[in-house]
Amino acid sequence: MMLVNGIGVPFSRIGGGGGVLPFTIIIDTSLNTGDGFILPIDNVTQDGTIDWGDSSTSDLSYANRSHTYASGGIYTITITAEILKGFRFNGAADRLKLTNIVAWGAMNITNGNKAFQNCSNLNISATDAPTVSTIDFQYIFSNCDAITTPDLSGWDVSGVTKMQESFSYSLLFNGNVSNWVHSSVYHIKRMFRSCPQFNQDLSGWDVSGVTNWEEAFYGCGSFNGSVASWVLQGNMSEAFQYCGSFTGTGVETWNTSAVTSIYRTFSDTAVFNGNVSGWNTGNITNANRAFYNADSFDQDLSAWVVPQMNLHEFMRDSTGLSTANYDALLIAWDAQGAMTWTGTANFGGSKYTSGGTAAAARTSLISKWGGITDGGAA
């Protein structure tokens, strides 16, 4: 026997010359009904051996995917094969019995969509990486409440394009995914939604292909990683909403020229005060609630292009800008001429200097938009 991440694995299961490990998992049959386990493999030709961990072995095949143990308990299952294909729970009941992936070995993820979704007792101690032969990682580890801090940076995900809800609602997840988003990924909607422990440096991500950011980090209460040098486009609605620890380090380097919506992007972010003064906002049409309840936010927005921008509830329920920043905003925005959006623009508790240029600009903007809600005169 040799120890692999603390688990005894027979030497006979180690690849030639001590190389590739078998795919190794730990199950606990007491975590769901029945004293058996069904491997979630597709009905495709496989070549290998299953060691069920109770001195029983089977040829690797769809027909042999099920095994009943003499008594319930914890078992280590190893699958020795050149390639293990089509392993995907997709909601199967025995997902609850899976407690650890010790080694990925010959695993080839041919369809990541919901592969381990709702494996709520699963942790990953494996230090190797599977082969990835799919474009789809949607929901792959969604609702995996026991996954903590696996290092997934060694995975070759260069062919994956869809990451929607990859880790959503995985309450303890804080794994290293520093290379997971690259130029071919276009969909990261809710990728880390409600992952309150997630806090990683993502400055190495190439997000230039991402067009849907909706709720990507929504509810990541611990997140304050670097997000520097991102080139952004499309819909960023609610991307960082409820990120209570996010200060905004790196947002000053973002290229936002192709962003169309910042609806609630930084809403309910208690400490956010990122420098967004240099953002190119010419294509942003929806800024409704962008800084809603963002009490620490106070930046100079005077250079923003806004005639096309929906500013309804823009800073509602926030402390608002300093008088200096608010005065500069009013004067510069009024100088942009006619507004195509009409409504009541909300600047929270921001207060302006009465009796001067800022006050006159505010009056002019009210006539263009239809109304302003703010903290009144300083």
The answer on 288 and 143 residing in a single domain is yes
| pLDDT at residue 20, rounded to an integer | 60
> Does residue 35 belong to any structural domain of this protein?
yes
Are the C-beta atoms of residues 76 and 5 closer than 8 Å to each other? no
The answer on 103 and 41 residing in a single domain is yes
Q: How far is CA 215 from its chain centroid?
A: 8
d(CA 142, CA 27): 19
Final residue of a structural domain among 105, 128, 151: 128
Answer whether residue 295 shows pLDDT above 60: yes
d(CA 321, CA 333): 15
Is 12 strand, coil or helix? helix
Q: Please compute the mean of the pLDDT values over residues 239-243 and round it to a whole number.
A: 98
| pLDDT at residue 21, rounded to an integer | 79
Q: Are strands 2-4 and 7-9 parallel, antiparallel or unpaired?
A: antiparallel
The answer on 223 and 280 residing in a single domain is yes
The answer on 146 and 113 residing in a single domain is no
Answer whether residue 14 shows pLDDT above 50: no
The answer on 189 and 165 residing in a single domain is yes
Looking at per-residue pLDDT, the higher value among 17 and 244 belongs to: 244
Looking at per-residue pLDDT, the higher value among 353 and 2 belongs to: 353
Final residue of a structural domain among 85, 103, 128: 128
247-272 per-position pLDDT tens digit: 999 999 999 999 999 999 999 999 99
> Does residue 361 belong to any structural domain of this protein?
yes
| Closest by Cα among 96, 76, 210 to 143 | 96
What share of the chain in percent tops pLDDT 90?
A: 94
The answer on 150 and 288 residing in a single domain is yes
Answer whether residue 196 shows pLDDT above 70: yes
> Does residue 304 belong to any structural domain of this protein?
no
The answer on 166 and 112 residing in a single domain is no
d(CA 304, CA 229): 19
Is 297 strand, coil or helix? coil
| pLDDT at residue 230, rounded to an integer | 95
How far is residue 350 from each of residues 4, 320, 328, 357, 376, measured CA to CA in Å?
Answer: 59, 4, 12, 16, 7
The answer on 289 and 153 residing in a single domain is yes
Amino acid sitting at position 2: M
| Closest by Cα among 279, 274, 241, 276 to 259 | 279
- Average pLDDT value over all residues in the chain: 94
Structural domain count, the chain: 3
What tokens does 250 get? Answer: 């790196």
31 confidence band (pLDDT: 50, 70, 90)? very high
The answer on 261 and 214 residing in a single domain is yes
d(CA 137, CA 162): 6
The answer on 212 and 339 residing in a single domain is no
Domain span holding position 331: 322-378
73-98 per-position pLDDT tens digit: 999 999 999 899 999 999 999 999 99
Answer whether residue 4 shows pLDDT above 90: no
Specify the DSSP class assigned to residue 146.
Answer: T
Angle at 166 between CA 165 and CA 170, to 5 degrees: 85
Q: Please compute the mean of the pLDDT values over residues 18-32 and round it to a whole number.
A: 86
d(CA 118, CA 116): 6
Phi, psi (5° rounding) for residue 250? 105, -15
> Does residue 302 belong to any structural domain of this protein?
no
Residue with tokens 């009541």, as numbered in its chain: 344
Final residue of a structural domain among 297, 331, 351: 297
Are the C-beta atoms of residues 215 and 241 closer than 8 Å to each other? yes
> Does residue 224 belong to any structural domain of this protein?
yes
> Does residue 206 belong to any structural domain of this protein?
yes
How far is residue 305 from each of residues 1, 230, 276, measured CA to CA in Å?
Answer: 67, 20, 12
H helical segments located in 227-340: 323-334
The answer on 229 and 160 residing in a single domain is yes
The answer on 327 and 292 residing in a single domain is no
| pLDDT at residue 308, rounded to an integer | 98
